[in-house]
Amino acid sequence: MSNIIQQIADSNYSSSASKSAAICKGLFGTKAEQELRSDLEKVNHIAIAFDSSSIHNIKVLPLLAIFFHRRKGLQHRLLALVDLKQGGTADCTVWAIKKVLEIYRISHKISAIVADNCPTNFGSVDRQGPNNIFQQLTEEYNFIKKFNSNFNNSIFRYGDKLIGVGCLAHIVNNALKNSVEKLNFGEKNLNIFLGQIHQFFMHSSSNRINNIFQIRAQLGCEQAYSNNKPPTKSYSKTRWLSTGPAIDAIINQWHLLDIYFQMEPEGKHVDSFKKFFENRNSFPLLITLRSLATEVEEVVCIMEGKDVDLMSAIKIFDELQQKVFQYRENITMPGIVADMIEQWEENDRLDFHLQLRELYDDIQMYMVKWSTWTNSLKLHQWATLDNQLREEDVLNSTEVIRENSQINIAQLQENIEAVNLFISTRPASWATLSTSERWLNLLNSVSGLIALEKAASFILTLPGNKLC
């Protein structure tokens, strides 16, 4: 804190830690709180994002307000860090959310909740059941709509529904992890194998690592392994984006590990490890999965980026889903794998092709099953401004979200013409901007877009990730 004040005000300033904390809380904290409340008053729609986590014995719930500000763009603002003393159950979480919304007086502005796809948040895959956070907040939402005059005076609503925005990046990540379990790797499925082989080297005496080091030296490998580093990567089915690196480590050390387990070392699971490396399917399947995991990781990184709106995330998700469908139709595999299996007997090749087709089928089915909640939202994709606006698309979208004809249709049609003229003159760099940046650019350049801004502000409130 002293360094900050020295840079912006007084170069000779100094203060103790307790005084700096008091300044942060009393001055900067108060100012930030005032600005947050001011911004929340100016917007009509807010999405609430949350994701509880444990710090030692404390269950902490960060609550974020997500909204589109016409001068600042898409905002992710921290409302509170709540200590869930009674645990992270749905009842406790709903109670905490309601209390924070009451403090900021924004209950009537909430249009969506944003969370990951776990049962506590949304119930089952089809979002059924009364004891999850989404259903309980939906009931609260309907109660507010019925009895709160502020709600009824809102500019417009998304029908009678509170929108539940799940995590598309998690769906993509889990689609790959869950789909590999049916592949033929011998006695174990891949998820179990990746976890167990890393534990085999990690929780062992130094002899195993030393033996690996000696084999590398005998093979004439230039890169030496340190005595405290296993030849595998840590893996857990629940760990974020761990599949690709774990597979990559096995591929890069394939011959080394194959020779090692041929030497019949002692240890738990050794026999099943041997069979894994003896299975002729294992290596080509790993190479295929590594290629697929690379694409998945790239998509997830884009989805998890800053200022990614939900409509852009849905578009990226659908493009990957279509790509997987094409992979299934063409039985796509890396060229090195195609060359490898070309030497096999026809029945073995057909069996390998069948495994790949089933893999792509399972990935696509998982993505479809867990993303049904996006289907009713896709008609709002015009708001990304990727292309010139079609009047029919905008009107259909607006018809769903407007209430009591609050949006003037004639004015909306004029706005569409003005926006299309603006988009037609944009440079190539327009494609590199986020949706939020495009709307800021548009609203600062073209005046009088009142009707279109009303519709877009609701759509832009829906984020592509929760960032908490």
Digitized pLDDT (tens) for each residue of the chain, 468 residues in all: 566 666 666 666 666 666 666 666 666 677 888 898 999 999 888 999 998 887 777 888 899 999 999 888 889 999 998 888 777 788 888 888 999 999 999 988 888 999 988 888 898 888 887 888 888 888 876 665 555 555 544 433 444 578 899 999 999 989 998 898 888 787 778 888 888 888 888 776 667 777 777 777 776 665 544 445 677 888 776 666 778 888 998 998 898 888 888 876 677 788 888 889 988 899 999 999 999 999 999 999 999 888 899 999 999 999 999 999 999 999 999 999 999 999 999 999 999 999 999 999 999 999 999 999 999 999 999 999 999 999 999 988 888 775 434 778 889 999 999 999 999 999 999 999 999 999 999 999 999 998 898 888 889 999 998 765
CB-CB contact of 320 with 189 (8 Å): no
CB-CB contact of 198 with 233 (8 Å): yes
Residues 217 and 225: their CA atoms lie apart, in Å, by 9
Residues 283 and 285: their CA atoms lie apart, in Å, by 5
Q: What is the domain range of residue 259?
A: 172-372
Q: Which residues contact 451 (CB under 8 A, 6 or more apart)?
A: 407, 408, 409, 411, 412, 415
Number of domains in the chain: 4
Residue 309 carries which DSSP code?
B
CB-CB contact of 252 with 155 (8 Å): no
Same domain assignment for residues 200 and 136: no
Same domain assignment for residues 58 and 150: yes
Instruction: Supply φ then ψ for residue 286, to 5 degrees.
Output: -65, -45
Residues 312 and 404: their CA atoms lie apart, in Å, by 29
Same domain assignment for residues 400 and 351: no
Closest CA to 193 of 251, 282, 273: 273
Coil, strand or helix: which one is 154? coil
Question: Residue 163 is inside which H or E element, if any?
Answer: strand 163-165
Tell me whether residue 411 is in a domain: yes
HEC sequence for 228-285: CCCCCCCCCCCCCCCHHHHHHHHHHCHHHHHHHHHCCCCCCCHHHHHHHHHCCCHHHH
CB-CB contact of 132 with 121 (8 Å): yes
CB-CB contact of 201 with 246 (8 Å): no
**CA-based diameter of the chain, in Å?**
81
CB-CB contact of 166 with 373 (8 Å): yes
CB-CB contact of 168 with 317 (8 Å): yes
Tell me whether residue 314 is in a domain: yes
Residues 45 and 165: their CA atoms lie apart, in Å, by 14
pLDDT at 160: 53
Question: Residue 29 is inside which H or E element, if any?
Answer: helix 29-42
**Domain end point (choices 123, 142, 166):** 166
Same domain assignment for residues 420 and 440: yes
Tell me whether residue 237 is in a domain: yes
Q: Which residues contact 405 (CB under 8 A, 6 or more apart)?
A: none
Closest CA to 115 of 131, 98, 130, 93: 93
pLDDT at 154: 41
Q: Tell me whether residue 322 is exposed, middle or buried, using C-beta atoms within 10 angstroms of its C-beta: 0 to 12, 13 to 18, 19 or more.
A: exposed
Tell me whether residue 467 is in a domain: no
Tell me whether residue 465 is in a domain: no
**Domain end point (choices 331, 349, 372):** 372
* Residue 437 CA: distances (Å) to CA of 5, 21, 74, 256, 333: 31, 35, 8, 50, 38
Same domain assignment for residues 441 and 420: yes
Long-range CB contacts for residues 143-146, cutoff 8 Å, separation at least 24: 144/107, 144/108
Same domain assignment for residues 98 and 202: no
CB-CB contact of 313 with 462 (8 Å): no
Which CATH number belongs to the domain containing residue 131 in this structure? 3.30.420.40
Same domain assignment for residues 309 and 448: no
Which token pair is 24? 């942060």
